Amino acid sequence: MDTVRVAVPDDAEALVVLHEACWREAYADLLSAATIDGVFADRTAHLASRRERLADPARPTYVVERDGEPVGFATAGPARHDDAPVPVELYGIYARAAVWGEGVGHALLAAALGGRPAYLWVLDGNDRATAFYRRHGFELDGAAEEHPEGRHLRMVRRTSWDAGSAGDRIGRMLALTGSTGALGGPVAHALADLRPRLLVRDPARAPQLGGQSGGVHVTPYDDAAAATAALEGVDLLFMVSAAESEHRRREHRTFVEAAARAGVRHVVYTSFSGAAPDATFTLGRDHHDTEVAIRDSGMDFTILRDAFYADVLPLFADASGAIRGPAGHGSVAAVARADVADAAVAVLRDPQAHLGATYTLTGPEALTLDEVATRAGAVLGRELRYEPESLEAAYAARRAAYPDAGEWQLDAWVSTYVAIADGSCAAVTGDVRRLTGRAARTLEQALGG
């Protein structure tokens, strides 16, 4: 649990340590280690200066603690510059990388500034911080200062800012991707009353929302200029993962960077339940990479990690009804796509309640592929069966059937089954119920039975 309080002189040593840690994390790609070492070389002077500031009631420092440990702090007070554009200056705001995107920055700004006009200085090239400040009403005004560690740019918020209603602002402009698909389409229809902006590749397939759409923009994920333009003015973005591709990581990162550049405040992303750098299901590694890009962007986020789709599993069967793959006797807690859509709608209607959260969306039970075949076949009126394959046979069969498929695609197909075999996809969670208020759909319900 996070708490915000005013720091006192006895906090000086902890804040000096926290300050240095935040610098090393935030500026690792902008400043050399030697430069950062130099800034913090004189620990005694830093400690004395920090104690002096903490004793000054005109310049209060607010600290956020998580489970009793400080994870961020901010200080504001009277302007220190003769040419100050407004009377209040934000002297600094820092948070550990582990809590980026989890509301700590919002809490610190609200405590230090409230809704007051203010100005601040940001290191040139610190795009993550610049995007964060823009989402809170600050804009670059052209002023700059040279410091030993680099050039600093001034950002100013000239008008009052309703810091207390950030959650109300988020959602005023909603953008949806994937609205031409089986997941994003239902989300778009369910949120038509919010007049969402639809970002699509093929405008002819964009859903008709009864005149309630906020516009349709042709926006391939790999077109940075188009994405930035389409996302201007958007507060809340629903990002459905792109179609499987050898280049999906690059496409996703291009789109995430465009969203941050455009000033998007909050991204809700559909990931994978086993997302990790070493995920058995190889495409889960792509999802992990996108999660990292979103967390590093400075935008707020909510991650929806979806299990394999229950309504897609029967499509693995060939013309004879056989589902062949190296899944062994493993099980999968497959989720209905309709449940993922419902969960996304719940988050998008109340995004502030889900800041920084990661949900794993599964079905109500884990089933072996034998069980999937039997139960799905009964609903579909078709005889289905599971036939285990060895790893070698699985690759050979797919290479023969799809001679033009790339190795990445073969790995993705085969690792789907391997992830079931090794238990990567077997865990059942209650997150569908937690978000939607009802139980997750069974396999039969997912298939319309």
Supply the pLDDT for residue 171.
39
Range of the domain at 51: 2-164
pLDDT of residue 215: 83
* pLDDT higher than threshold 80 for residue 440: yes
Does the pTM exceed 0.75? no
Question: Hey, what are 152's tokens?
Answer: 């600093």
Is 261 found in the same domain as 397? yes
Residue 245 has pLDDT above 70, yes or no: yes
Select from 164, 192, 224 the last residue of a domain. Answer: 164
Looking at 164, 185, 204, the residue that finishes a domain is 164
CB 196 within 8 A of CB 233: no
- Same structural domain, 54 and 183: no
Largest CA distance in the chain: 81
Do both 156 and 175 map to the same domain?
A: no
Average pLDDT over residues 140-168: 80
Lowest mean pLDDT among 98-112, 279-293, 298-312, 366-380: 98-112
Average pLDDT, the chain: 92
Structure confidence by residue, pLDDT tens digits, 67-109: 889 999 999 999 999 999 999 999 999 999 998 888 888 889 8
Nearest-angstrom CA–CA distance, 253 and 250: 5
Q: Which of 164, 190, 221 is the last residue of a domain?
A: 164
Number of domains in the chain: 2
Q: What CATH number did the domain enclosing 127 receive? A: 3.40.630.30
Sign of CA dihedral 405, 408, 414, 416: negative
Query: Residue 403, class by beta-carbon neighbours within 10 Å (0-12 exposed, 13-18 middle, 19+ buried)?
Result: exposed
pLDDT band for position 26 (cuts 50, 70, 90) = very high
- Which pLDDT score, from 0 to 100, does residue 213 have? 63
